Amino acid sequence: MRAALLIVLPVLAGCSAAPPGGGLHDPYEGVNRRVHAFNKSVDQTVLRPLGRAVAEAPPGTYQPIVNVSDNAGLPGTVVNNLLQGDIGGAATNTLRFVLNTTVGVLGLADPAGAIGLREVETDFGETLAVWGVPEGAYLELPGFGPSTERDAAGRLVDFVIDPLDRLDGVPEEVRDLALPTKLAEQVIERGIYGDTLDEVLYGSADSYAQARLIYLQNRRFELGEVPAATDESYYFDPYEEIAE
C-alpha cells in the first residue's frame, strides 16, 4: 500500500477540478488522440473480431467466465467499500464472495445473486472522489481507454493493493483464474456491446471526442457529480463492466 501511495500521490497532487458545469479539461489532447488511435487499431484487429465470435455464441455461454472474473474482484471492492465508509456494501460484497466461492464453485455460478445479493460496485477512483480528490485532466490509457487523472491513479491502486493474494483460505484456483478471466471478460463485453461500440468508434465523425464525452458524462453521473440527462443513452459507457 505504501508503494502504491508513493506512486499515486504525485499524480493526485496535479489533479485539478473539472471545469464548472461539467466541461472538458483535456490539456493532453494530442497525446490522448495518439493513444486513442492505438487503442482503436487494437480493437479493429483483435477485440472486434473476437467480440463478433462471442456475439454469435448461444446466450449465456460465457456467463461462467464473467462470474469468475467478477467474483475475483470482490475483495478489492470490499476494501473500497470500507474506505468510503460503506459498511453495508462491504458486508454485502463479502457475503457474495463467500457464497459464490463456496456454493458457487469458485465463482462459476452466482447463488448470491439468485437470493438478491447484488454487488455494490465501486473502485478506488470513486474512493478518491469520496475523499474530495478532484477529477483532474482527461486521459486515454493504452489498452484501457478513456479515464481521468483521478481514475487512472485509482486503477493503479486497485491493481497494486488487490487483497485477493493476501487472503487466507481462498482457493488457489480463484487466484489463478483472476487475470485470464478478466481479460476474457473484456472480449465478452466487446461482443455484447458490439453494435454500440462500433457506432462510437467507427460510425462517428470524431470517435475520440465522442468516446471522451460519453465517458466523462457517464463517470460524473455515476459519482453524483452531474445530474442525469434526459436521454439515458447519453450515459452509455462503452467501457463499462458487464451488468449483472
Task: Find, among 40, 51, 87, the residue nearest to 210 by Cα.
Answer: 40
| pLDDT band at residue 204 using 50, 70 and 90 as cut-offs | very high
Q: Which of 57-61, 71-75, 236-240: highest mean pLDDT?
A: 71-75
pTM comes to 0.84
Q: Which three cell numbers stand for residue 64?
A: 461462467
pLDDT above 70 for 229: no
**Alpha-carbon span 141 to 218, nearest angstrom:** 17
Q: Give the H/E segment covering residue 208.
A: helix 207-222
- Cα–Cα distances (Å) from 157 to 3, 5, 72, in that order, read 9, 8, 16
Q: What percent of the chain shows pLDDT beyond 70?
A: 84
